[in-house]
Structure 1
Amino acid sequence: MQLETLLANISQHSNLVDAYGATHLPIYNTATFDQKRQFPNNKNYDYSRTDNPTRNALEDIFTLAENGAGCVCTNTGVSALALLFDTVLKSGDTILVERDCYGGTYRLLSILLEKYDVRTCYADFTELSEVENALEQNDVKLILCESPTNPSLKIVDLKSVADLSQKYNTLFAVDNSMATFASQKPLDLGADFSLFSATKFISGHGSVVAGAIVAKTEHWSERLNYFSNAHGRAQSPFDVFLVSLGLPTLVYRMKTQEQSAIQLSEFLNTLSDVIDVKFPGLPSHPQYELAKSQMKIIPSVLTITLKSAEKAEQLIQNTKLFGEKVSFGTSDSRLEIPSKMSHATYSEEDLKKIGLTHATVRISVGLENIDDLIADIQQALKVETNKYVKL
């Protein structure tokens, strides 16, 4: 079954048994369930922290979409990461992480190191020799990366990293928040876990924070469920419902946004105030061929570096259609200076290691008309051209 078909009618393709034949996920917004009143079913419910029919239905869909063995939906994307660490790691373990990682991941790893003696080593995952060197020198329990990375938009060869994880008997997890299963499926490429913030492209509306983690094997699926119940990380039924509203349009939204991101990137490359444009959908990107082979859709996130921090602030403050907001992947376009927002927890030294400056701006392209977005940037930077009509 193609993904678009699976997502078009999620109540039909999940294991949810609804007495009234609801055509979308019914919200079982209850804390507890009466054991005596449940009709015969393959699953009995008692407490919503442990299991809930609404949440289980979405977990079924995510499991099918990622070709996994089981899924846990969590209350945030960071909670999915924390659940992974709770389940897999113990005090004294080492985790190998792509150096260019989300600021929330970086912060969480710093907390783990400080409180639980979990050691983190970082590497550039686009250099496989650097990854293997780290694996040779350290007894690594877990490998974690994003692809594309946030915000430098590097593409990691997931199959090759998965091969290294198997060679060194190490677990491998991919943060699939940006690409989503509409674009790539890490488990098919050899990863043990695929996790994502459903806050972003998957829900698509910016109305809910949510996360999920899908395991390749029954063993790890059961362990994730156990720790989710023990730590109370489960997502509420109403938040599950909000996430589910974005699923039927996910593929179509991302394809439309991809085309707009290509056009916006090409325009930005013509501006003298912009000294660098990073977008894996452009042939100029150093890993363009890998991106096209590994992903069906290039996510509509691009990162630019302007001539100065002052120019970056000018762009931020003068745009009318782009909100200054964290996160990405929603129907509205937005921009941010990562060093001030999503990656504010990074030290200046670590910002330099991943090539971020205060003149770096991350742009998430939404569903607005592309000519309007280009015109907005044009007027914000006071670009003199007649190619686009000014707002």
Structure 2
Amino acid sequence: MIQTDALVVGAGPAGLMAAEALSQAGLSVLVADHKPSVARKLLMAGKSGLNLTRDEPFDAFVAHYGTAALHLRPMLAALPPDAVRAWAEGLGQPCFTGSTGRVFPNAMKASPLLRAWLARLDASGVQRRTRWRWVGWEDAAARFDTPEGPRLVIAKTTVLALGGASWVRLGSDGAWAKTLTRAGTRIAPFQPANAGLLVDWSPHMTAHFGAPLKGVGWRAGALASRGEAVISARGLEGGGLYPLTPALRDGAALHADLAPDIPTGILAQRLANARGKQSLANRLRKVLHLDPATRALAMECARPLPRDPDSLARLLKALPIPVAGLRSLDEAISTAGGLPFAALDAQLMLKTRPGTFCAGEMLDWEAPTGGYLLTACLATGLAAGRAAARHAHKG
């Protein structure tokens, strides 16, 4: 039996932020994670450039959280994008803002930031245990399976930050859902978010696998986005498409605008003026400046293309993409579903388990990539940690 003031289960960004808040409140803190090392998903995300947050007006920033914005807004207000940047710089990681408003550490990678963060937590006395899998409660104690056998931890307060159900190999396996369900808490089914799309390409597209589609507008249902996507052997993926996942998950059709800066009427006139003896491929190349991959996409999805300029213009402004479905849950960058806010009070405490608070991707919210995911994980971790500290001090 181990006793501590505060127990944090899950050592991703939300859990570590909760641990820091608890430690700053003067509590002894034990952090437990079932993987051999901590923050694996953060490190993986940082391999392509660690996008910490987004530099944009706060109301616009919060709007990206959709139906969960009402719940998340006060937590994001307590740790807005400029505060996330200041937090990283306080760890010795100066940041810069890219042309799209995305904020990155100058080092781009997650590892220098994580090393500095863990060193600060160590210096404050936070204890870490790895290869400890939480399997539920035994009366007042949290029970763990460890390499040394079962362990029980008694804490004045607990924060669960167990992640979603994507990228299982990095630790987010969603196994906690069954544990909470057995304890009487309803869990919303996990679904892929920020997921790649499955498209059954013809052999003609093979030459374009790995090619980016730039300057394209995307629409599915009421959602629209503009950004890069990449043609892969299995379909399409990329930040331009990820914001559309909620609509695509609900069965909305996907359309691509290959000329998002040109109104339909003007595009039709330009196509008409360029007819002459030019081939259709040359007209697309010269009038729209479409690269080979984008021209191939148009031919793949709508062959034979109409010769009439008006019909062709309308098609190019709303090219139907034959999506066969989303990539699997484990392949998605993040997940929708999880622990509903209705199961928590306004302080993120479980209604069925007083003294236990929850944070991060295990909560039922989703947001596109681009800094929104990490900011909300940090913000909910901070909120849960502070609320848990207040609860411990009351006790």
TM-score (norm 2): 0.26
Q: Which of structures 1 and 2 has the bigger CA Rg? A: 2
User: 1 or 2, which has the higher strand percentage?
Assistant: 2
TM-score (norm 1): 0.26
Query: Looking at both structures, which has the greater relative contact order when contacts are Cα pairs under 8 Å and sequence separation is at least 6?
Result: 2
